[in-house]
């Protein structure tokens, strides 16, 4: 066992195996995570709420109870727009400072029922939507953003502070931080994992996802949601990969181009059949449609804060309530209709000539500064299409920061997509050991 000396360096799957066979306790694992956090929190600032004594007590309880499910004792970070029974949920907003709801969000309840240990709440863009940014920094270079809005979850998993964490995505809030922090992430098909108890910003777009440091860990969590069972063997040799530069290609940067080219070349070297895939013309309108929908649906989502806390609601969120961009009902209906008509067309692309799509996760590496979380332009279309995405690390870019790529499947093919990701990840991601070396240097 490579990392047996430091449980914090283990993947969730490795740790689960040791816990299940009695070779490691839940307490040992969580103490290792807490030690890592203690040594790194000043630099990374991933956590909004952490009660070390309480989580150690809970780990001891889990050790006494014995295995409750396949996630027994595995620590999860939870983006602070997602409710947890034991911690406050502030949404990184002064409006909800210290608020404890005493009830788990659906996604949290499911993993807790499978034995997971909720470690703490991670920093986030306010409401996962606008207003305040997280204070979190990129674990590879504190001058850079970790991405967002799932800033703390992405950085905490990337920095080996916790093996698993929840994020949410409305535009590119989940898959982009996976790219910037050198980790794996899944955004499942819309509706397959309940988003109840995660702050609502857009009914049509909001999706809960999770991060891990390998595909096996994404699958392990997916099993709890009953969306990860696919026993059909996947061979990279002969795998039909559609290379989709996407309608956002004009925004690509050197790091993103390098990541996509690297992943494609490695897949071809391993025997995959990689061919460029150009989506039908109507898909070019989806990025703007996503913008129309997220703004229009935000009007009702943020009306409660607009009504009760106008003075401390961020101007960009007030603007949604006021429909500052002036969307008409006709424009909104057209945006919905475009997405509605593209979804089945997209699904129909898959078949004998296409197994999976490979596309950028972000324009490039994480940009400098904490005033931005980067550009979601490569993620927004997929979110609107409701299709599953898996983010996989591909390479270090020119600035020495990690960059990832995204695998995309059709709706409800999550289990198949994860099985494909498990097969191609060792081919694409050849620099995991180097990531670990840099972060523990």
3-class state of residue 136 by DSSP? coil
* 422 is a site residue for a copy of itself (CB under 8 A): no
CA distance linking residue 136 with residue 435, whole number of Å: 19
* Residues of this chain, 52-71, that bind a copy of itself according to CB under 8 A: none
Token pair listed for 30 = 């969580």
* 196 is a site residue for a copy of itself (CB under 8 A): yes
* Nearest partner of 84 among 46, 60, 55, judged by Cα: 55
Q: Which residues contact 164 (CB under 8 A, 6 or more apart)?
A: 12, 74, 75, 76, 77, 116, 157, 210, 211, 212, 217, 221
* 400 is a site residue for a copy of itself (CB under 8 A): no
50 phi and psi angles, rounded to 5 deg: -150, 125
Query: Alpha helices of 102-229 — where are they, by DSSP H?
Result: 106-113, 151-158, 175-180, 215-224
* Residue 53 or 330 with smaller CB distance to a copy of itself: 330
Q: Work out the burial of residue 42: count CB atoms within 10 Å of its CB; fewer than 13 is exposed, 13-18 middle, 19 or more buried.
A: exposed
Q: Which of 149, 179, 202, 246 is catalytic?
A: 149
**Residue 266 host element (H or E):** helix 254-269
* Residue 203 or 265 with smaller CB distance to a copy of itself: 203
Token pair listed for 342 = 């593209």
* Residue 80 or 429 with smaller CB distance to a copy of itself: 80
Q: What is the DSSP letter of 368?
A: B
* 416 is a site residue for a copy of itself (CB under 8 A): no
* 87 is a site residue for a copy of itself (CB under 8 A): no
Q: Which of 31, 60, 100, 422 binds a copy of itself (CB under 8 A)?
A: 100
Q: Which of 13, 150, 173, 301 is catalytic?
A: 173
* Residues of this chain, 136-175, that bind a copy of itself according to CB under 8 A: none
* 2 is a site residue for a copy of itself (CB under 8 A): no
**Minimum distance from residue 175 beta carbon to a copy of itself (Å):** 20
**Minimum distance from residue 279 beta carbon to a copy of itself (Å):** 19
Q: Work out the burial of residue 231: count CB atoms within 10 Å of its CB; fewer than 13 is exposed, 13-18 middle, 19 or more buried.
A: exposed
* 333 is a site residue for a copy of itself (CB under 8 A): yes
Q: Which residues are marked as active site?
A: 79, 149, 173
Residues at the contact surface with a copy of itself, assessed by CB under 8 A:
96, 99-104, 106, 109-110, 112-114, 190-196, 199-200, 203-204, 224-226, 296-297, 299-301, 303-304, 307-308, 329, 332-333, 336-337, 340-341, 343-344, 347, 411-413
């Amino acid at each position: 066992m490579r990392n047996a000396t430091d449980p914090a360096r283990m993947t969730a799957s490795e740790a689960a195996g040791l816990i299940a066979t009695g070779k490691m306790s839940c307490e040992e694992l969580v103490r290792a995570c807490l030690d890592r956090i203690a040594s790194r929190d000043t630099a990374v600032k991933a956590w909004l709420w952490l009660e070390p004594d309480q989580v150690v007590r809970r780990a001891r309880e889990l050790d006494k109870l014995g295995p409750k499910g396949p996630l027994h004792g595995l620590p999860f970070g939870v983006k602070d727009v997602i409710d947890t029974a034991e911690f406050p949920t502030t949404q990184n907003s002064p409006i909800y400072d210290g608020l404890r709801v005493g009830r788990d969000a659906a996604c949290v309840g499911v993993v807790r029922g499978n034995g997971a240990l909720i470690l703490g709440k991670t920093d986030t863009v306010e409401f996962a939507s606008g207003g305040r940014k997280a204070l979190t920094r990129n674990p590879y270079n504190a001058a850079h953003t970790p991405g967002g809005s799932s800033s703390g979850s992405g950085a905490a998993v990337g920095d080996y502070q916790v093996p698993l964490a929840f994020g949410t995505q409305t535009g590119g809030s989940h898959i982009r931080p996976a790219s910037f922090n050198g980790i794996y992430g899944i955004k499942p098909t819309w509706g397959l994992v309940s988003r109840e108890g995660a702050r609502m910003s857009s009914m049509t777009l909001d999706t809960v996802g999770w991060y891990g440091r390998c595909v096996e860990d994404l699958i392990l969590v997916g099993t709890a949601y009953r969306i990860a069972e696919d026993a059909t063997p996947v061979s990279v040799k002969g795998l039909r990969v559609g290379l989709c530069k996407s309608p956002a290609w004009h925004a690509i940067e050197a790091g993103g181009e390098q990541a996509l080219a690297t992943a494609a070349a490695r897949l071809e070297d391993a025997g995959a059949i990689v061919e460029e895939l150009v989506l039908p013309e109507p898909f070019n309108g989806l990025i703007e449609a996503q913008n129309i929908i997220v703004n229009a649906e935000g009007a009702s989502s943020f009306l409660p804060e607009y009504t009760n806390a106008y003075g401390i609601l961020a101007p960009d969120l007030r603007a949604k309530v006021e429909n500052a961009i002036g969307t008409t009902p006709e424009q909104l209906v057209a945006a919905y209709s475009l997405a509605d008509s593209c979804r089945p067309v997209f699904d129909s692309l898959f078949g004998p000539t296409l197994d999976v799509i490979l596309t950028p996760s972000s324009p490039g590496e994480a940009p400098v500064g904490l005033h931005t979380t980067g550009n979601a332009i490569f993620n927004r279309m997929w979110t609107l299409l409701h299709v599953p995405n898996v983010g996989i690390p591909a390479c270090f870019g020119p600035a020495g920061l990690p960059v990832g790529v995204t695998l995309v499947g059709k709706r409800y093919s999550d289990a198949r997509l994860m099985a494909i990701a498990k097969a191609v990840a060792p081919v694409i991601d050849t620099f995991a050991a180097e990531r670990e070396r840099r972060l523990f240097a």
